Structure formats: structure tokens, C-alpha cells
């Protein structure tokens, strides 16, 4: 009733409460075991974690895929896309593999990570594939924490007018602020770039 009355008066809600899901694990692609459950990473590129989140624009959503090295906390690859498809995660992975190759790649069981194109690329680079159990986001805790940091320190503080502004701002945050300026207590209060160096 309220929505109908607001429409009749020409009013619109200023805040959209709709959320969007990024993980769809109901698929027929192969599943992989969690290889990092009790693993303590001890060197760079031992374990990469990957995740997807949505970013709200003025009138719609875009999607962010990020890959991070657990030991250094360096972002190895990322991509922002208007579509929640396999190109989103594949582009982030291809960017990450330009200069580094992990021993283990860990993600949730979403179809973008389980699809043949993605797992074939990891296999081509002889990377072991690891996945969190369905409905267990805590099994991908490093990636979840990274996404929370991105949301709290960049996305939630910004009001992106369009895709290009979001791409520019998020890219600057990941490549400059998060990697080169933001200190981490787990890294002895160094930035990821300093710790890796």
C-alpha cells in the first residue's frame, strides 16, 4: 500500500533494500575438497583465495572478483564487470597469473569458480584447486575479510555515479591504498607491498 501511494505521489525510495546473491553453487561442475582447512601459509603464492561481491551503483549493480595471496595479503588480480558470468572470474585470474602462480587456489563452490574454463586454466598452470563447503563462508575467511574491508573502506564510503567511476575508484583502492598504504597487524604493521618486498 505504501509503495502504491508513493508511486501515485511521484515519490521514490531513496535507499534500495534489495540485495543480490553472488554465489550460486547449484550446478553440475565437479567439486573439490578443502585443501587449506588446517594449512598455515608460510610463503608467498602458497595459497590464493578468491571471492566475488556486488557493488551498488546509482541505478544497478556491478560485480567485483578479487584474488588475494594469503601470506602477503597482496591482491594478485581483480576485475569489475556488469555481468556475473565466468568472464568476471576468468579475467581476474588471468591478470593474477601474469606475474605469479599459486600452489593452491581456494574459493567457494560458485559456478564461476567451478566451471571448466576456470578449472582448466588452473590445471594448465598445475595449481591445486580447493573449495570451501557449500554454505560455509568461514572456510573462505581470508577472502571474506578482504571483501568486508573493500566494502567498509571503499565501497560503502563512495557513491559511484556509473561503472567507469566505480572501476577507477575501486582499482585505485586495491592497487594503491590497500596494497601500498594500508598497514596490516597480521603483517607486523607493514603494507602488503612492504611485507612482500
29 vs 67 pLDDT, higher one: 67
- Record the pTM: 0.85
For the record, the C-alpha cell of 148 comes out as 568486508
C-alpha span between 37 and 158 (Å, rounded): 35
Q: Is the Cβ–Cβ distance between 89 and 129 less than 8 Å?
A: no
For residue 149, CA distances in Å to 82, 87, 114, 181 come to 21, 24, 25, 14
Query: How many other C-beta atoms can be found within 10 angstroms of the C-beta atom of residue 186?
Result: 12
Per residue in 42-57, pLDDT (tens digit) is 999 999 999 999 999 9
Q: What confidence score (pLDDT) does residue 24 get?
A: 55
Query: How many other C-beta atoms can be found within 10 angstroms of the C-beta atom of residue 62?
Result: 20
C-alpha span between 23 and 191 (Å, rounded): 30
For the record, the C-alpha cell of 132 comes out as 570451501
Q: Is the Cβ–Cβ distance between 41 and 141 less than 8 Å?
A: no
Q: Is the Cβ–Cβ distance between 187 and 195 less than 8 Å?
A: yes
SS3 149: helix
pLDDT above 70: residue 65: yes
**Which residue matches cell numbers 559511484?**
160
Q: What confidence score (pLDDT) does residue 16 get?
A: 46
Per residue in 113-131, pLDDT (tens digit) is 999 999 999 999 999 999 9
Amino acid at each position: 500500500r505504501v509503495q502504491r501511494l508513493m508511486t501515485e505521489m511521484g515519490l521514490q525510495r531513496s535507499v534500495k533494500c534489495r540485495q543480490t546473491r553472488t554465489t550460486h553453487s547449484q550446478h553440475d561442475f565437479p567439486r573439490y575438497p578443502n585443501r587449506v582447512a588446517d594449512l598455515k601459509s608460510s610463503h608467498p603464492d602458497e595459497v590464493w583465495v578468491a571471492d566475488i561481491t556486488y557493488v551498488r551503483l546509482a541505478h544497478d549493480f556491478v560485480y567485483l572478483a578479487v584474488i588475494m595471496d594469503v601470506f602477503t595479503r597482496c591482491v594478485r588480480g581483480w576485475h569489475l564487470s556488469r555481468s556475473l558470468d565466468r568472464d568476471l572470474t576468468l579475467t581476474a585470474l588471468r591478470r593474477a597469473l601474469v606475474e605469479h602462480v599459486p600452489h593452491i587456489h581456494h574459493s567457494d563452490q560458485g559456478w564461476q569458480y567451478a566451471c571448466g574454463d576456470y578449472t582448466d586454466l588452473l590445471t594448465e598452470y598445475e595449481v591445486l584447486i580447493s573449495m570451501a563447503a557449500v554454505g560455509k563462508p568461514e572456510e573462505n575467511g581470508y577472502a571474506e575479510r578482504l571483501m568486508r574491508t573493500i566494502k567498509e573502506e571503499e565501497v560503502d564510503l563512495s557513491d559511484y555515479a556509473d561503472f567507469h567511476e566505480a572501476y577507477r575508484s575501486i582499482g585505485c583502492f586495491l592497487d594503491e591504498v590497500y596494497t601500498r598504504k594500508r598497514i596490516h597487524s597480521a603483517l607486523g604493521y607493514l603494507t602488503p607491498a612492504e611485507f612482500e618486498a
